[in-house]
């Protein structure tokens, strides 16, 4: 790999001060995307600020009706957390389906959403759950956070510190995995809170995660997989086509994954 | 150059490294522990799996400096003198390898599996849990058998011999 400067702050305060000072620095969370990207020179920051030494960014708590997950909490920790499994089993399952066991030990929720890969799982999940992303400067609703493929509402020098996730609704995520990369060929997250339903689709959109309004309207009337019968899936011309799947196939998969997600969300 | 210190297989070690030095380079080139392999260098194949603070990770996708103060176990740290770790012994017994290149990562992944899921592992569980480790020779069949037997042996359980 090319040479770069390395910083490893021990507190969020130190991290804040470094990110303001160090030129052309990138935050390193779990590194499971950033390091391969740097090896390929698709990213080449002059410096890396590693947050793995900041313990205050790790942990899962129940605070009132919310789950609060620290940005540096690994996928393995979310997947195996008794708190998450009890409050939002669908979220534990989502985290447990990312990458492979070794990647899940390193990859973090903060890193995943800051990267906003168009085929990542967390962006769809957090959108459907109505989560709030907390940074060193402000709180950003998930609906405003994911702004397009690999792009977010984060400003220069902004660091995600935690994610606040409301509990008490229904939630499930169903994904059709690419068998080699384990990224979503299509993933659909469905969240229901009161009468409001969000259906978020990842892996399929040409500009990253998006909401499927027609499905939301149908499921808002009756939260049952059958409600999606006769609803047209998103048009292929707005979807990805690549060596793994055509846009038409992805469009079909969205309907299948959405039904599976609704069925899973209503099963318990 | 920054200095990194960690415990590798029970021994305190430190070295001057660059920011870009990967954990796997630190282990292989600085510590001469060449049992940890580099297969793909793109976090797909799992030949580089080691344990950091008790958890299996891919050493090709971890910076050495991120492991400051950590406790690292590699394949060289498993045997007790000349006595193989039960998981190593099971791979030999069940011929869970052909060329052997993936074996160190397979064994480290297998022990991590036992640490998380216990001694009684079903074939389905093992196959699913092995998705981060690629073997191009065996077709996995004997690896799965070896892990099942090795897990049982780690727990002192008996598995019918075939």
CA terminus-to-terminus distance, chain B = 54
Nearest to A102 among B19, B56, B65 (CB): B56
Nearest to B61 among A8, A35, A53 (CB): A35
Question: Which pLDDT does position B161 carry in this prediction?
Answer: 46
Question: Which pLDDT does position A108 carry in this prediction?
Answer: 98
pLDDT band at B162 (very low <50, low <70, confident <90, very high): very low
Q: Which residues of chain A have pLDDT under 70?
A: 268
Estimate the share of chain B in helix, then strand, then coil, as percent rounded to the nearest 5: 40, 15, 45
The C-alpha of B22 sits at a distance from chain A's nearest C-alpha, in angstroms, of 9
Domain boundaries, chain B: 3-77, 86-154
The C-alpha of A123 sits at a distance from chain B's nearest C-alpha, in angstroms, of 22
List of chain A residues whose C-beta atoms are within 8 Å of the C-beta of residue B68: 8, 53
Name the packing angle between helices A122-129 and A89-96 (round to 10°). 170
Question: Which pLDDT does position B71 carry in this prediction?
Answer: 98
Identify the structural domains of chain A with CATH numbers, from first to last: 1-49 (3.30.43.10), 170-267 (3.30.390.50)
Closest CA to A229 of A214, A211, A250: A214
pLDDT at residue B160 greater than cutoff 90: no
Q: Model confidence over B54-97: pLDDT tens digits? A: 999 999 999 999 999 999 999 999 999 999 999 999 999 999 99
Could you say which architecture CATH assigns to the domain B3-77? Roll (3.10)
Question: Which pLDDT does position A223 carry in this prediction?
Answer: 97
Q: Cα separation of A128 and A199, whole Å?
A: 6
As a CATH number, domain B86-154 is 1.10.150.120
List of chain A residues whose C-beta atoms are within 8 Å of the C-beta of residue B22: 1, 35
Q: CB distance A99–B62 less than 8 Å?
A: no
Interface residues from chain B to A (CB-CB < 8 Å): 2, 18-20, 22, 41-44, 46, 49, 55-58, 61-63, 65-66, 68, 109, 112-113, 116, 129, 131-133
- pTM exceeding 0.90: yes
pLDDT band at B159 (very low <50, low <70, confident <90, very high): low
Q: Model confidence over B4-33: pLDDT tens digits? A: 999 999 999 999 999 999 999 999 999 999
The DSSP call for residue B83 is B
Q: Cα separation of B53 and B39, whole Å?
A: 23
Question: Which pLDDT does position B158 carry in this prediction?
Answer: 58
Q: Cα separation of A74 and A61, whole Å?
A: 14
Question: Cβ contacts of residue B161 below 8 Å, gap of 6+?
Answer: none
Enclosing H/E stretch for A3: none
Q: CB distance B19–A52 less than 8 Å?
A: no
Which residue of chain A has the CA closest to B62? A31
Q: Model confidence over B93-118: pLDDT tens digits? A: 999 999 999 999 999 999 999 999 99
The C-alpha of B18 sits at a distance from chain A's nearest C-alpha, in angstroms, of 7
């Amino acid at each position: 790999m090319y040479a770069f400067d390395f910083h490893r702050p021990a507190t969020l305060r130190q991290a804040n001060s470094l990110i303001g000072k160090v030129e052309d620095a990138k935050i390193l969370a779990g590194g499971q995307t950033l390091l391969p990207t740097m090896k390929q020179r698709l990213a080449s920051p002059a410096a890396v600020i590693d947050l793995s030494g900041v313990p205050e960014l790790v942990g899962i708590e129940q605070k009132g009706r919310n789950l609060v997950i620290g940005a540096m909490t690994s996928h393995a920790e979310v997947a195996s957390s008794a708190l998450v499994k009890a409050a939002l089993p669908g979220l534990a399952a989502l985290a447990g389906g990312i990458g492979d066991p070794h990647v899940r030990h390193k990859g973090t929720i903060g890193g995943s959403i800051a990267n906003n890969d168009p085929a990542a799982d967390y962006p769809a999940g957090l959108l459907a759950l109505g989560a709030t992303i907390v940074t060193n400067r402000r709180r950003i609703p998930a609906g405003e956070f994911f702004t397009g493929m690999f792009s977010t509402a984060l400003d220069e020098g902004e660091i995600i510190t935690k994610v606040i996730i409301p509990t008490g609704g229904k939630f499930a995520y169903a994904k059709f995995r690419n068998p080699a990369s384990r990224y979503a060929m299509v993933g659909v997250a469905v969240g229901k809170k009161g009468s409001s339903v969000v259906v978020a689709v990842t892996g399929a959109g040409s500009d990253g995660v998006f909401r499927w309004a027609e499905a939301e309207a149908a499921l808002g009337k009756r939260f049952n997989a059958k409600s999606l019968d006769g609803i047209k899936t998103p048009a292929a011309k707005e979807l990805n086509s690549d060596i793994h799947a055509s846009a038409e196939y992805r469009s079909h998969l969205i309907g299948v994954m959405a039904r599976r997600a609704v069925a899973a969300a209503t099963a318990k | 150059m920054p200095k990194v210190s960690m415990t590798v297989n029970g021994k305190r070690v430190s070295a001057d490294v660059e920011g870009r030095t990967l954990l796997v380079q630190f282990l292989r080139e600085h510590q001469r522990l060449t049992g940890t392999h580099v297969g793909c260098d793109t976090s797909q194949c799992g030949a580089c799996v080691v344990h950091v603070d008790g958890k299996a990770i891919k050493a090709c996708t971890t910076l050495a400096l991120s492991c400051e103060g950590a406790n690292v176990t590699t394949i060289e740290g498993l045997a007790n003198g000349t006595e193989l770790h039960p998981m190593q012994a099971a791979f030999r017994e069940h011929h869970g390898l052909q060329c052997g290149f993936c074996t160190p990562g397979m064994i480290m992944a297998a022990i991590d599996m036992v640490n998380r899921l216990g001694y009684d592992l079903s074939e389905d569980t093992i196959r699913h849990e092995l998705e981060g480790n690629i073997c191009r020779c065996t077709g996995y069949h004997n690896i799965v058998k070896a892990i099942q037997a090795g897990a049982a042996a780690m727990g002192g359980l008996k598995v019918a011999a075939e």
